[in-house]
Structures are given as C-alpha cells and as structure tokens.
Structure 1
Amino acid sequence: MIRGFSEAIYKNYEGSAYEIMNEAFNKALYMAGLERKDIDGFMTTFLPGVFDGNIYMHFFPDQICNYLGIKPRYIDSLEYGGPSVLSAFWRAENIVKAGMAENILLLFGGKGSEVRKKKQTVDSMENIYPEVVNTPYKPLLSGYNNMNPVSDYALLAQRHKKVYGSTDEQRAMLIVKQRENANRSGYSMFSGSIKVEDVLISPIVSSPLHLLEIVYPVDGFHAFIVSKNSGKLREIRILKYGEAHQSALPPEMMDITVTPAAESSSAFRNDIKKCDFYELYDSFSITVMIQLENTGLVPPGTSGSFLEKNSISVDGDFPLNTGGGSLNRGQPAYMSGSVILYETLLQMNEMAGKNQVKNPGKAFINGMGGWSRNHSVSMILGD
C-alpha cells in the first residue's frame, strides 16, 4: 500500500530533471517517515528526450539510483507510457507481499519542456532523430508530417463523430467542466473561467481537436512509496486490477473506437459503477469520452450526451477528474498516469481541501498509454 506520495511540477524548470525528481522524492520520504537507506526497491520508465533532452541513457535506472543515493535490491523499468506508473503500483504491491522488497519507490516524470521546445512530442521524436523508430512501417509513413499522438487521437475523435454523431460542442463541454473542477481545487496549474465557445475558437491542431482539448506537457515528477504498511496514511489497496495491450495500427483494427480500456476493465464492470469518484486519463478530450464508453460506464456513443446532462464536480452526480485532470494540472513528461493516481490518493486520504469528495470509499482509475490504441490499465482502489 502507499506510505508516501508527492509531486513536484513546474511549467518550465530551469534546472535538471534530476533536481526535480530529488524534490519529489524528499517530499514522499517525509510523508512516509522513511530515510533513503530504507528504500530497497525502485521502478520507473524512460521516454526519449524528457531527461534533459537525452535521447538515450545507458542503464538509466542505475543512474537515478546513484543520484538519489538509494541501493535497491529490486529494480524495474516499464515502458508503455502513461499508465506505466499504475502497473508499477500493482507490481510493487505484489513484490512487497512476496518479500522481495520492503519499501519500493515509484518515480515517474521528466522535463516535457525539453521536447516541447523542439516542437515535437516523445511520439514524434523520429522527426528530428532519424535513429529513433516508432514503427516497423516507418518507410511507408515517412512522407507524412508525424504529429503523434495528436493525430492518432484526432483520428479517433473524427471516427467517433462519424459513427456516433458526437459533436465538437460535447468534447468542449468536458473541457469546460474539468476546468470548473480545476478552479475549485485551487491546486491546478491552469485556471480561470472558460466557455464552450472558447474551446471551439481555439486553433485546430489536428482536425477535429482544438488547442484547448490537448494536454500541455510540463516539467515534473511524482513519487510514490509502496510499503508493507501505510504509516500515517489510510490503508488503501488495489482491490481490482486489469491491464491490456495491443499493437495493431488503425488500418488493421476492426473498430478504432474500441481501445484496450474495454479489455482491461472487462473483469469488474459492475464494481466500477459502484465507485465514489473516477479519475480517467485525459490527454485529450476524446480520451476521457472513449474511456467512459469502453469501461462500460455509459453505452457506446453516448459519452457526449452523458457529459452534457451530468455534473462531474465532487458534489455532483458523477465526480470525474476531480482536480481538473492533467488537462489543467499539466502532463509531466507526456504521462498522465501519475497525475490521476496522485489525485486519487489526495481524495482517498481526504487531503483535497475545498474539492474533497465526501466519504470516498472506492475510486476507479483508468490509464491509457502509447496512443489511443496501445495500452490500458484499470484499477479500483479502496480499503
């Protein structure tokens, strides 16, 4: 279970990624009541460019452990993007239960600004580094300006409009309501009132997605310490867990509106509907909508109308992305999984201040990774 957790998030950080991770680590240690010598497990991930612009780092986990001054007997690195931290949490719980480690540090993040300055994303690094290959079919795609993951999610949004008749206004409504949550929380990077019209007049980045529907990559890390006991925190465990992965390209898929979230959540659909609040990966507006449908919370094609009719605030009928999501908090190094896990832990430990869910018993989290079609991790947390 989680004994300590923290974040260190900046829009633009002038120092190194190592300095930010050390800040997050120190905060998590303080909450956990532990010292560096107590950490005997470590899990992380690496995305090209987010560690001070480095495209590759040899024995990457060793470099971090050396810098942080920890000597773990268990080390692991997961590489499927945003939901990696959620899988790390599940694996860490089981590793601790098995007696392989007592206190495992999960450290996820980096400097999104380093890639942002190059006007690329971690999924389009091959545009500036020919040695980086994102697909074995690169020669077939080399004539296109690769804007992934934006173009991949734009394709999903366009297909959803075609098949189900969802509208730009419905996606924009989600953005407005998540901003309202962010404004109430008081701890989001982006705040201020916006209207549906503001979303729709913001520039189209990849049709039909507008600028305000797209997450902003920032600099930062989240640190989570998984231990045998929760220390001073609530004894929160993973009650249900599922993950799913698939590697087909869109032309090879029967239906691109069915993502791996449909499989990762399939074993406990009824339990999901009984949760007290929901934290869904929100890299784009369509990401949230497709998860609502794929996890069985609403029927296919109805997420837009659902969001129009229901309140997603903490005191509403469907508390969703209660802190405003990564669309308003920023996305550390192109990964939102740690943002939604951090918010979930705030809520479950009643640390969310003015934006606290009343008497939270169970929370549902779903993370998406790679692109809309690659990875999904679903979990229910409770005690």
Structure 2
Amino acid sequence: MGKRAAAIVGLTEWAPKRVWDEPMFTMEACARLAAEVLADAEMDKGEVDGLVINGLRESPMFAPSALAEFLSIRSNFNETVDLGGATPAGMVWRAAAAIEVGICETVLVFTPSVPVPPQPGANGGSMKMQMGAYLGGDVWGSPQGQFEIPAGLVAATPSFAMAAQRYMAAYGVSEETLAKVAVDSRYNAQANPMAVFYGKPITVDDVMSSRYVADPLKLLEIVMPCYGGSAVLVTTAERAARCPHRPVYVSGYGEHLTHKSITYAPDIVDTPIRLAADRAFAMAGVSRDAVDMASMYDCYTITVLLTIEDAGFCPKGEGGRFIDEHSLRYDGDWPLNTHGGQLGMGQAGLGGGMSHITEAVRQVQGRAGERQVPDCNIAYANGTGGMLAEQVALILEGA
C-alpha cells in the first residue's frame, strides 16, 4: 500500500467553452475557484496554508505572495510550477510532498484559464498563444527562434507529427488505430455534459476523412483549445477523514524531463514518462494490473499511444495492438480518459491537464455519474508538457 499522508478531498471544474463571455483577472478566477473547492470539501479558508499556481498575469513576479494577499491567506508553502501540460500533475505531487514532510497541512492548487479584461488602449485581453512564443521563439537569443521555427517547427503539432511518423516507421502502427483513440474519447465525452463535444460522437471514418494538419495527424486527432478552469484541495490524512467525500491519496508520483525542443529529445518515441511512471508505481507499491482506470494526457492521439507503452502498460512497440485489442471506453475493459480526455472534453489551457486529475479523483470518489467505473479504487494519471518533454505520473488511491 502506498503513502497515506496527503489526500485530494475537494475539486471544482468549470465547463470548457470555446467562447468565454465573462473575462476576469487571474486572481479573481483563483478566488472563485478557491471558494468552490473549499465548499466542495467543506473546509474553511482559515485552514489553508499552502498555494500552488502556475503564475499570475497581474503579478509576473511575486505571484504566490500576490495571490495570498488577495485571498487573505497566510501561507507556509508557495510554489509556481512551469511544466507545460505536466504542470497540474506536478502541482499535485508538490502539494502532497509538502504535506508529507510537514511544511503545511492544506494546499490550494489552481489552474484557471480564462480571458482577462481588455486593457484600455491595448489590443484586447485575448489568451491566444503566439505560435513562435510557445517554444520561446519570440525571445532574443532563443535557439528555437534561430534554428527551428524558421524550418517549420512552430508550436506543438509539427513536433508531435514527427513523433507519430517516427513511431509508424519503427513499429508499423496504422492511422486507423490512432483514430480509434479519438473515437473512444468522443464516446466517453457523450457521458460528460461539460464536454465541448458532448452530443457530437465520431467514427473512425470521420477521423480518417478529416483534413491533415501535419502528416500523419488529422484535425480530429488534435485537441480543441478553449477556456475553463479548475482547482483541487490537498490536505492531511487527519483532515481528510472529516471531509464529505472519499479521500483520494496521492500515494505515488514521479517526474522526469529530458529536453525542450523535439530536436533535442534523446529518442522521440521513448518518452520521459517511462522513468516518471516507474518511480510513481514503485513509490505507491502497486502494480500496473491493479489500476482500475487511467487518465492520460491526450493533446494528440499519438501521445496516448506513447504513454500507454512508456508508462508500462504494454511492451514497447505494442501500443497499437493494445489499443486495437482493448476498449478504452468508460464501459470498456480498459477505461481511459473517461471524461472524454482533452480530445473529447476540450483543452482549457492548464485546466485541460488538470481535467485528467479531477476525473481520476471523481472516479475514485464514486462521483462520475453515468460514466462511473465500477469498484474504482486505484487510478493512474499523468501530464505531458511541451514536446513530449516534461512528464509527471501520479498514482491516486481511495481510502
């Protein structure tokens, strides 16, 4: 049995939207999320003594202290995490670790992703991401800006397409197999009224006939950017015992990164999740076979295949066969991304990455409604950041 020192006891999540009609400052969004997650856990704000965020637009420096001031919280543990899509999972294990070593007792973890009010005289408050900026290409001296972006490695899609091409060349997986990942994700989204693609199932033929964005990745194999936000509350085992929902212990975790740009990846089909997952499972003391559901970062279909393999659920090179032989649906034999994943629910910035954790918590707590996996006690969740670069794995266990 894994660690039993820190547990997730509350969560809140805003339904992702492609158009967000209520701009708010990041601190305001955090305040609303904090009120909601504390209410869900039936805990008082005065018990909070830790904050984990990914930064504040209103305070590029001293972000944790600015938020503590705004929320009127005296905090003993304060972190700003920058791991791309792996940030939410990285936030959760840092909160758990801080509790384990006794630095603090209750930590708020935030991932707001909403447009801010427009600045007078400026061009809007949009959160649209500049393509080159995603790799740091707009920064003076950036290696990517000098050598890679001019060659077409702009943002994420070309990099993941390279990984997909390489994997296909090495192991012969078909495009139809990758399409099945998207189809099963959409199926799961039909049981999640919050999903952007709720009411919009797709078939393998739909995926195969959608246009190529970067060969071999097609439009329906790529996440839909949107807005949203989420938060979780992590606390001690003692406090967790008096909360209304089943405590979900963070019993194992691992983190590993090897590069920033795909150009410098040691091996683009052997991702850092391998070492991160090995550490997480070893720490928790559970086997892969004990996992009741998995919640894997799915910015692209190829990301899911690589994660299934490298997290150790099947041997290298057999991910395609694993996907073909298993149903990844919430009512299937290997439930994966039961909320629809980001491919089915939408990628609300870092809230998209956090959705994999909130869904795992819902499942273990028995709060997933129509898509509830029976007897769900152990969940695997992970985050993938950048160009298959930063990787964090979590083992989440019910009390």
Question: What TM-score comes out, normalization by structure 2 length?
Answer: 0.85
Q: 1:62 aligns with which of 65, 72, 75?
A: 65
Q: 1:249-260 maps to which residues of 2 (within 5 A)?
A: 249-260=261-272
Deviations 1:348-383 (A, max 9, x none): 1111001101011111112211221x1111121113
Question: Which secondary structure does the structure 2 equivalent of 1:3 belong to?
Answer: strand
Question: Which secondary structure does the structure 2 equivalent of 1:227 belong to?
Answer: strand
1:123 aligns with 2:137: no
Question: Which secondary structure does the structure 1 equivalent of 2:294 belong to?
Answer: strand
Question: Which secondary structure does the structure 2 equivalent of 1:314 belong to?
Answer: coil
- The residue number in structure 2 matching 1:160 is 167
- The residue number in structure 2 matching 1:198 is 206
Deviations 1:272-316 (A, max 9, x none): 222111111111111000001111212222222322221122332
- Kindly indicate whether the alpha-carbon contact (under 8 Å) linking 1:116 and 1:217 is maintained by their aligned counterparts in 2: no
Code of the aligned partner of 2:224 = Y
Question: Which secondary structure does the structure 1 equivalent of 2:85 belong to?
Answer: coil
1:224 aligns with 2:232: yes
- The residue number in structure 2 matching 1:244 is 256
The alpha-carbon deviation at position 194 of structure 1 amounts to: 0.8
Q: Using the alignment, how far apart are the partners of 2:163 and 2:156 within structure 1? A: 11
Q: Using the alignment, how far apart are the partners of 2:210 and 2:99 within structure 1? A: 47
Q: CA RMSD in A?
A: 2.5
1:43 aligns with 2:49: no
The alpha-carbon deviation at position 193 of structure 1 amounts to: 1.9
- The residue number in structure 2 matching 1:5 is 11
- Kindly indicate whether the alpha-carbon contact (under 8 Å) linking 1:81 and 1:335 is maintained by their aligned counterparts in 2: no
Q: Using the alignment, how far apart are the partners of 1:249 and 1:125 within structure 2? A: 10
- Kindly indicate whether the alpha-carbon contact (under 8 Å) linking 2:152 and 2:158 is maintained by their aligned counterparts in 1: no
Q: Using the alignment, how far apart are the partners of 2:363 and 2:151 within structure 1? A: 43
Shift in CA distance, 253/8, structure 1 to aligned 2, threshold 3 Å: closer
- The residue number in structure 1 matching 2:38 is 29
Code of the aligned partner of 1:2 = I
Q: Using the alignment, how far apart are the partners of 2:86 and 2:43 within structure 1? A: 26
Code of the aligned partner of 1:216 = M
Q: Using the alignment, how far apart are the partners of 2:107 and 2:319 within structure 1? A: 38
The alpha-carbon deviation at position 182 of structure 1 amounts to: 1.0
Code of the aligned partner of 1:3 = V
Code of the aligned partner of 2:222 = I
Query: What number of residue pairs does the alignment pair up?
Result: 372
Q: Using the alignment, how far apart are the partners of 1:312 and 1:154 within structure 2? A: 22
The alpha-carbon deviation at position 335 of structure 1 amounts to: 5.7
The alpha-carbon deviation at position 161 of structure 1 amounts to: 1.0
The alpha-carbon deviation at position 157 of structure 1 amounts to: 0.7
Question: Which secondary structure does the structure 2 equivalent of 1:226 belong to?
Answer: strand
Q: Using the alignment, how far apart are the partners of 1:237 and 1:216 within structure 2? A: 31
- The residue number in structure 2 matching 1:321 is 337
The alpha-carbon deviation at position 43 of structure 1 amounts to: 0.5
Q: Which moved more, 1:312-321 or 1:182-191?
A: 182-191
Deviations 1:193-223 (A, max 9, x none): 2111211222222221111111122222211
Code of the aligned partner of 1:157 = A
Q: 1:341-360 maps to which residues of 2 (within 5 A)?
A: 341-360=357-376
- Kindly indicate whether the alpha-carbon contact (under 8 Å) linking 2:293 and 2:378 is maintained by their aligned counterparts in 1: yes
Gapped runs of 5+ residues in structure 1? none
Q: Using the alignment, how far apart are the partners of 1:116 and 1:166 within structure 2? A: 36
Q: 1:279 aligns with which of 273, 295, 302?
A: 295
Q: Using the alignment, how far apart are the partners of 2:338 and 2:273 within structure 1? A: 20
Q: Using the alignment, how far apart are the partners of 1:13 and 1:91 within structure 2? A: 30
Question: Which secondary structure does the structure 2 equivalent of 1:336 belong to?
Answer: helix
The alpha-carbon deviation at position 136 of structure 1 amounts to: 3.3
Shift in CA distance, 169/17, structure 1 to aligned 2, threshold 3 Å: farther
Code of the aligned partner of 2:134 = D
Deviations 1:243-262 (A, max 9, x none): 11112654544531000011
